[in-house]
Structure 1
Amino acid sequence: MDSSLSIFSLIISAGFVVQVVMFVLVLMSIYSWTVIMSKKKTLMDANKDIKRFHNNFLADTNLSILHGQIPAQVSNRTPMEHIFGAGYGEFTHTTSASNQALVMNSERAYRSMNTAVNNEVDRLDHGLSVLAMIASSSPYIGLFGTVWGIMHSFIGLASVKQATIAIVAPGIAEALIATAFGLFAAIPATIAYNRLITQVGEIQNKYTSFVEELFVTFQRQK
């Protein structure tokens, strides 16, 4: 390729609007990758926490001992510790040993744990909507830059008596770069969003399974 038609030179020589579009798309791509890497680490930590706490739960089903091992401060608890603590706190809210009291305590604990699960899933979901927005809007933003650039190129051809490929090609090429930038931002965001939202759903299922398992354990307490 001729050096005069290199990608870098086309970006530099592009019109102001097209350059603004490309700059916006670069920012969107950087932000999407920041969200992707941050969310990936958060989900990995959540899976490790689920595995560790569930193993401890299976190793010792003495709920009072297990509750004594978690931090007293709610802000210092991991998600699984928070879910367990919310349920255990409601289950032991009253000291009555009657069957009716145990049933009521178990139901309150079940609702409290589900609320904690919903709050945790909301935390895991946070930021994914922006990732979906980037995935869906980036191609259109890039297309806008392309249309604007091509339109500007054809307007410039109005003053040329004879249009040739050598004259038309640079303007169209620099306009098409905006579409390439849009796809560059959209494709990773789309793939990452679909993968991350699936992982959030899997983690939610694990939380729900633990809540059901713990609810049965509460009902067995005498």
Structure 2
Amino acid sequence: MNIFDLLLEADILVQISIFILLGFSILSWSVIFHRVFTLNIAHKKLKLFENEFWSGIDLASLYQKSLSRRNKLNGAEQIFYVGFKEFSKLYQMKRCSSETIISRTLDTMHTAINIELKTLEDYIPLIGTIGSISPYLGLFGTVLGIMHVFVELGKTTNNTATQIIHLQIIAPGIAESLIATAIGLFVAIPSVMAFNYLTTQINNLDQDYNNFIDEFITILYRQIFLNIDSVLNKENKHEETENKTCY
């Protein structure tokens, strides 16, 4: 008796649980392939933008390039775009101190990171949920199948020979029920592995994005703020302004 015969001859409740598990498996693999593809693209875009960022291009020119296609930005380029945009707006406010500009630019870019990560994390919790409940659903189908087998076995006569004959007929039903547990594990194991892998990849991207922000802020401070701090300090001596003057 092959596995397909076991599935076809299983109790209806066992078949229902198996079909649900198969549906979970299809859904899980669809999400896995889609998320892996999406994360690979995100990693490639990050590397491409970092190569362009460190190529020596002027930051203003890079911002203008991003501005020309601002509706199609994502990843590190989107983080750079919103950060440089916020910086430019605050820099034009002469009463803003360098600390205020740095702080608000960082907040803007961290918000952009959270939006990017939220997009990348879509449906990944679903994989974790499938991986968690699939073994229990398989076990539930097995329990229902074995209950059905023993109910049928209880209908036999007390004659020992008759019980043995009926046991030989009904025993395959136990094997049919155990198929549900096997399929539950078949669905759960790859789902849990994929969930851990995808979560690790997202954490790596999060770290890469934050590293990029640190490097970007360092460049802004080094190239611009060091030249204007003395001017801002002189203005602050003549005007009693605080950070709340920046809107």
* Normalised TM-score (structure 2): 0.83
Whether 1:44 and 2:46 are equivalent positions in the alignment is: no
Partner of 2:85: 89
Give a deviation string over 1:85-117, Cα, whole Å, max 9, x none.
110011000454859543322221111000101
Per the alignment, residue 25 of structure 1 pairs with 21
Per the alignment, residue 199 of structure 1 pairs with 201
Task: Return the offset for 1:34.
Answer: 0.4
Inter-partner Cα distance in structure 2 for 1:90 and 1:97? 11
The one-letter code sitting in structure 2 at the alignment partner of 1:188 is: P
Deviates more, 1:102-111 or 1:197-206: 102-111
Distance 1:102 1:63, change over 3 A: farther
CA contact (8 A) 2:74 2:116 kept: no
Q: Which runs of 5+ in 1 are unaligned?
A: none
Q: Which has the larger radius of gyration?
A: 2
What whole-Å deviation, never above 9, does each CA across 1:122-154 have from its counterpart, x for those lacking one? 111111110000001000000000000000000
State the partner residue of 2:156: 160
| Distance (whole Å) between structure 2 residues aligned to residue 61 and residue 219 of structure 1 | 17
Hey, what's the Cα distance between the residues in 1 that align with 2:45 and 2:213? 15
> CA 1:97/1:71 → structure 2, altered by over 3 Å: closer, same or farther?
closer
TM-score (norm: length of structure 1): 0.92
CA offset digits 1:4-57 (Å, max 9, x no partner):
x22111111111111110000000000000000000001100110110001111
Equivalent position of 2:221 in the other structure: 219
The answer to whether the aligner puts 1:172 opposite 2:168 as a matched pair is no
2:243 aligns with none
2:66 alignment partner, SS class: coil
Residue 124 of structure 1 is aligned with which of 102, 107, 120?
A: 120
Task: Name the SS for the 1:60 alignment partner.
Answer: coil
RMSD: 1.7
Q: Runs of 4+ in structure 1 displaced over 6 angstroms?
A: none
Structure 2 gaps of 5+ residues are 228-247
Distance across 2 between alignment mates of 1:48 and 1:99: 40
